[in-house]
């Protein structure tokens, strides 16, 4: 990465200090300005979105130190997700709702009239979906851990083969 201009580094350092000093409720405009400054500094936009979206001050300090040319040790300790005990009846009702939503989505996609000569006549195949929000993510993670659902990435889950002998 090419060295940054000193005025840009000074702005970034000042904005980091402003974010550290501001309370969480009042830091919104500072984070927006930091987003623009990091874009000017040619930081990866995906990394900026994760940083600004999570409002992680420690990671912001690390990024600012890297931009100044300082050596920064990354945290190697990853937080271990704790398994939350979920009641079997809650998991069963969540799985029932998930199956119903997948079925409705498949039927909806199959009933479209948009399968015409310009589209090649191919059918839509829906295998995975984002789980309904009626249940917290811990329930969906517990279902995936129990083998009833499969994580497909980016928050999507799919049903596993119904012939599996997975029990609660």
In a domain, residue 25? The reply is yes
Distance CA 120, CA 114 (A): 10
Contact 134, 162 (CB under 8 A): no
> What was the pLDDT predicted at 46?
86
Does a structural domain hold residue 21? yes
**According to the model, what pLDDT value does residue 149 have?**
92
Residues 102 and 148 in one domain: yes
36 part of a folded domain: yes
Residues 63 and 13 in one domain: yes
Query: What's the confidence (pLDDT) of residue 51?
Result: 85
How would you write 50-103 as a 3-class SS string? HHHHHCCHHHHHHHHHHHCCCCCCCCCCCCCCCCCCCCHHHHHHHHHHHHHHHH
**pLDDT tens by residue, the chain, 168 residues:** 567 788 888 898 899 999 988 887 788 898 999 999 999 888 888 888 888 888 888 888 888 888 888 887 765 555 555 666 888 899 999 999 999 999 998 888 777 666 555 665 566 678 889 998 888 889 999 999 998 999 988 888 999 876 555 555
Is-contact 112 124, C-beta < 8 A? yes
> Do both 94 and 147 map to the same domain?
yes
Q: What is the model's pLDDT at position 111? A: 75
| Structural domain contains residue 102 | yes
Asked if residues 91 and 139 have their Cβ atoms less than 8 Å apart, the reply is yes
Residue 138, in any domain of the structure: yes
CB of 4 within 8 A of CB of 41? Answer: yes
Nearest to 105 by CA among 134, 133, 127, 135: 127
Domain total in the chain: 2
Q: Which pTM does this prediction carry? A: 0.47
Residue 93 belongs to domain spanning: 88-114+123-159
Are 142 and 89 contacting, i.e. CB atoms less than 8 angstroms apart?
no
Residues 58, 95 within the same domain: no
Q: Cα 100 from chain centroid?
A: 24
Q: Do 45 and 99 have their domain in common?
A: no
Looking at the structure, do residues 94 and 151 belong to the same domain, yes or no? yes
């Amino acid at each position: 990465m090419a060295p940054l201009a000193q005025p840009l580094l000074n702005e970034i350092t000042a904005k980091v200090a402003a974010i550290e000093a501001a309370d969480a409720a009042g830091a919104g405009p500072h984070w927006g300005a930091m987003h623009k400054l990091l874009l000017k500094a040619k930081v990866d936009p995906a990394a900026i979105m994760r940083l600004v979206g999570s409002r992680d001050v420690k990671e912001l300090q690390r990024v600012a130190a890297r931009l100044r040319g300082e050596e920064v040790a990354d945290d190697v300790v990853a937080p271990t997700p704790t398994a939350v005990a979920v009641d079997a009846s809650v998991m069963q009702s969540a799985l029932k709702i998930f199956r119903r939503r997948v079925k409705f989505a498949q039927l909806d996609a199959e009933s479209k009239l948009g399968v015409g000569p310009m589209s090649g006549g191919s059918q839509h195949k829906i295998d995975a979906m984002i789980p309904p929000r009626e249940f917290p993510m811990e329930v969906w993670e517990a279902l995936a851990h129990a083998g009833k659902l499969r994580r497909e990435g980016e928050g999507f889950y799919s049903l596993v083969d119904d012939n599996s002998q997975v029990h609660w």
